[in-house]
Chains A and B, each alone.
Chain A
Amino acid sequence: MNDIKILGTGCAKCLAMTQVVEVVLNENNIEATVEKVEDIVKIMNFNVMSTPALVVNGTIAIKGKVPTKEEVLEVLNR
């Protein structure tokens, strides 16, 4: 079971990342808990400088851009 967090204050790019992640999870039947972290103080605890960021099982995997489906899949499979 993957623990996924999406860090972002709610701009267009952050929403786009959430969509990509949801599509990948559905298409590949991957089980995961998805949490959106929008509170800036909480986001800062992850020490990222550019949002949106994708955190998988406590590790920051992608930051500062909207990933492609392949990138998300690769992150989830490792």
Chain B
Amino acid sequence: MFGWLEQLADGLVYQVFKLDANDHLAEALHFFIYDSIKIILLLILVIFFMGLVNSFFPVERVKNYLTSHNLFGFEYLFASLFGVVTPFCSCSSVPLFIGFVRGGISLGVTFTFLITSPLVNEVAIGLFIGLFGIKTTLIYVSTGILLGTISGFILQKLKLESLLTPWVQDLMKEDRNLDNHFLPVKISFSKRLKSIFKEALIIIKGVLPFVIIGIAMGSFMHGYIPEGFFETYLQKDNWFAVPIATLLAVPMYSNASGMLPVLQVLVSKGVPLGTAIAFMMGVVGLSLPEAMLLKKVMSFKLIAIFFSVVSICIIISGYLFNIFL
């Protein structure tokens, strides 16, 4: 599929820049040209496609679906699947949280949505396909969905409603069928496509600097760090590697876009994939700024429980990846 790109990168590096194939610089440059073009193309495709899906599943519709259907225990899985196709801006996490619990959706199902949505997003999927291939992408997406489902289920069982801040508890007692006073702008399908494409380009523009910096760092490491370099420190049978990677990741704040190109190189230099993915999920899924936002609706204790349950699930999936891949 990307043979033409390989030729293009070959042509540029070996013929236009006249670099020697055994040179570190040539290796790094080739990696950079090939990877950045491939990833940008995939990102445009995936983000546009997800935008299209999302235009049919806005959060309001997700909420209405979850409140009006009895899903016999499958509501966690559904919330998780919706979390994948419904991206939201991180500053929307509080309104979204309140909208869900006020709509009568249980706390556990709401958590499920909040966990999966940032973890498995369109940018991460695009990058995963480009860097690790379809198979690993599928494993990553299904792990993310399972992680959200299981964490939400556990959090529900812990009965944590009393740990919400008082004003949220008051809101939950309010009438659940509040009138929305929403009058949407009617637009035709072709206009909708246009605006989805525009939105996709805005997202690409936003993440592009991080992707390029990530790929540049990755290229440098690819060209200059010897193969198997990390194997000495982070072997599969080093049981501490996964929890350490996860705990290091939580206070870091970044999106998947800058992380993944670096991750790919770490993996090719000997870091086990499960350890790397646990690190990525820790960075993307849990962060201190997110905790600050959630402070408005949850007590400190609830945030701590939430973060702990999710961290434990991430660590477990990291181990599973290492065992099965």
**Which A residues are closer than 8 A to B by beta carbons?**
8-14, 40-41, 43-44, 46-51, 58-68, 71, 74-75
Are B178 and A40 in contact, CB atoms less than 8 angstroms apart?
no
B2 interfacial contact with A, CB 8 Å: no
**Chain B residues positioned under 8 Å from A48 (CB to CB):** 95, 99
- Per CB-CB distance, the 7 closest pairs between chain A and chain B, nearest first, are A49-B99, A11-B91, A9-B91, A60-B182, A50-B92, A49-B96, A49-B59
17 contacts between A and B (CB under 8 A): A11-B89, A11-B91, A12-B89, A13-B91, A14-B91, A40-B95, A40-B296, A41-B167, A46-B181, A48-B99, A49-B96, A50-B60, A50-B88, A51-B89, A51-B91, A51-B92, A71-B185
Knowing A49-B60, A50-B88 touch, does A59 contact B95 (C-beta < 8 A)?
no
- Work out how many contacts link A and B, with CB atoms closer than 8 A: 80
Residue of A nearest to B297 (CB): A40
How far is it, in angstroms, between the C-alpha of A68 and the C-alpha of B195 when the chains are bound? 8
**Chain A residues positioned under 8 Å from B167 (CB to CB):** 41
B202 interfacial contact with A, CB 8 Å: yes
**Which B residues are closer than 8 A to A by beta carbons?**
58-60, 63, 88-92, 94-96, 98-100, 167, 171, 178-185, 187, 195, 198-199, 202, 206, 293, 296
Known: A47-B99, A50-B59. 13 other contacts (CB 8 A): A9-B94, A11-B90, A40-B95, A47-B179, A49-B60, A49-B95, A49-B96, A50-B92, A59-B182, A62-B185, A63-B182, A64-B58, A64-B88
